[in-house]
Amino acid sequence: MAADSVHSTYPPKLSPAQEQFLVSTIKDWTIEHGLTVRPPVTFVSQEAVSKGVLATNAPVTLFPSPFPKACFEEARAAQKVYNELYARITMDEKWLGEVIEELIDVDDFVAELWKVHLAVQKQGYVQDLSLGLFRSDYMPHTLSGSQTSSLKQVEFNTISSSFGGLSSRVAALHSELLTSPPGHSLSYPAHPLFDGRVPPENTAVETLSAGLAAAHQAYGPSKSTPPLPLCILFVVQEGERNIFDQLALSTRLSSFHKISVFRLITSEILDRTSIAENNPLRPLIYNPPHAENSPFEVTTVYLRSFYAPTDYKSDRDWSARLQLELSAAIKCPTVLNQLSGCKKIQQVLADPNRPDHLSRFVPTEETQEQLRRTFAPQYDLSSNSRGRELALNPERAALHVLKPQREGGGNNIYKDAIPAFLRSMPESDWKGWVLMELIQPPTEASNVVLRSDGEVVSGNVVGELGIFGTILWKSNGEILHNEEGGWLMRTKGKESNEGGVAAGFSSLDSVILY
């Protein structure tokens, strides 16, 4: 089926009574099943929010979005290769260091992270295991009139890859709506795409938790004298609104894997954790505030914070990150693994005009080609480069997006706006930017979204598919665990992707494969 024809009749029109039924069913289902977020202060008063008890539905689409089956399967098939690619980049400190050092004077955040690595290196790393919980994000590149789409990677996430927990629940919500009431399927109006179809199984929670459990297991016995009980530590942001996504993993770890999990906000790391003095193995000790005399030894630090510059409010936060990195706990991720997720790395790998690097990390030509097919061309802007040529030519620029390397450093610049934007800054700053060929998702895709404040918005959308994967490796190159499983469909109002006013919406979705 051509993407255009799929989207032109989708989603089916809703009568007011049908919309009312769907919206109220979803409002109730989300709360019943924990498909929730804490409400923003824009919706509920600061006073009510401060009580910490209110919740509302995560923003979700009323309908699952059609997605090409071949692209979905291609993305899944590539995940374990991607896992290994990023593990091997992380192990290759020399290669990684050369790319990162180029960024140090244009990206303070990268520079600070690199300093943490150097400080740990000085004392010596005591943990040779690393854990990655990754998510590779894609769009189906769909040229107008074409019968098929090709899968293109938008970005690869090596830290705090989120929405595994909630995404599984959205798939369950849409599956239930597609098949209810039992035997009759009347919740949605009839549509050919719905005939017998439900979203594919989504094992994100099981997969991500199993990755953390594998690290916990691989850590081995306590390194403390006397030995301490072991735990996994989730390092989180204060006032996290997306907490229920994270709890899906910790609940699975404690109920299924029988592993102790604690949550710790970044500002309390130095108060609550310590590295045992005089123990060259440097076990990381966690003291729960509610059980002062029951210290635990941390096998695995799972970061759901520390991924953005804003997570480091002072030097104390950098000291906290350093303490974690120095310790014997397995980090998910290490500083080096976090750095491997820089946009610059993705550009270096995907630059069609630069020497090939993929063969350094990916074993066979076949698997290299498997990844290369998912790359959208990306360029740096160095003098006389192809990237600079494309970016300054208005006609060619129109097919591209300019992305800042600097984390949290601002928004993307789109199409015609690129040449003037570049000319407004000194050329010496250009190396802080990456030029990427625009991926063209289906133009007619649309959906209806229930926002967290109860408003219902419909319109043209762009969907991004994320595939989750986990990998546990030793610095000597040995890979102990490499799994793929679970996915995320995130759907955004089209305006917000065009560099226009951010009047759009971003919501959790699922897929119907066609």
**Which parts of this chain interact with a second copy (CB under 8 A)?**
15, 17-18, 20-22, 24, 27-28, 31-34, 36, 39, 43-45, 48, 51-57, 176, 180-184, 186-187, 229, 231, 243-244, 247-248, 251, 254-255, 258-262, 288-292, 294, 452-455
Q: Is 512 annotated as a binding residue?
A: no
Taking CA atoms, 227 is separated from 62, 222, 239, 300, in Å, by 51, 5, 34, 16
Would residue 408 show up in a list of annotated catalytic residues for this protein?
A: yes
Output the smallest distance, CB 52 to a second copy, in A. 5
If we measure between CA atoms, which residue out of 504, 441, 513, 491 comes closest to residue 167? 491
Catalytic one of 52, 220, 239, 408: 408
| CB-nearer residue toward a second copy: 18 or 370 | 18
Output the smallest distance, CB 274 to a second copy, in A. 17
CA distance 82 to 373: 13
- Tokens at residue 131, please? 């854990």
CA distance 394 to 397: 5
Output the smallest distance, CB 53 to a second copy, in A. 4
Q: Is 388 annotated as a binding residue?
A: no
Write out the DSSP string of 450-476: E-TTS-EEEEEEEEEEEEEEEEEEETT
Nearest 5°: CA angle at 487, between 194 and 219?
150
| Per-residue buried b or exposed e for 371-396, using 16+ beta carbons within 10 Å of the residue's own CB | beebbbbbbbbeeebbbbebbeeeeb
CA distance 254 to 205: 13
Would residue 407 show up in a list of annotated catalytic residues for this protein?
A: yes
Would residue 343 show up in a list of annotated catalytic residues for this protein?
A: yes
Would residue 373 show up in a list of annotated catalytic residues for this protein?
A: no
Q: Is 272 annotated as a binding residue?
A: no
Catalytic one of 38, 282, 386, 403: 403
Give the torsion sign (CA, 220, 226, 232, 235): negative
| CB-nearer residue toward a second copy: 69 or 257 | 257
Output the smallest distance, CB 230 to a second copy, in A. 10
Would residue 162 show up in a list of annotated catalytic residues for this protein?
A: yes
Output the smallest distance, CB 34 to a second copy, in A. 4
Would residue 490 show up in a list of annotated catalytic residues for this protein?
A: yes
CA distance 20 to 25: 8
Q: Is 439 annotated as a binding residue?
A: yes
Catalytic one of 76, 152, 343, 386: 343
Would residue 431 show up in a list of annotated catalytic residues for this protein?
A: no
CA distance 455 to 61: 12
Which element (helix H / strand E) includes 190?
A: none
Q: Is 373 annotated as a binding residue?
A: no
Would residue 396 show up in a list of annotated catalytic residues for this protein?
A: no
Binding residues: 135, 155, 157, 159-162, 240-242, 246, 304-307, 343, 403-412, 414, 436-439, 464, 490, 492, 498, 501-502
Annotated binding site for substrate: 135, 159-162, 240-242, 246, 304-307, 490, 501-502
Active site residues: 135, 155, 157, 162, 343, 403, 407-408, 490
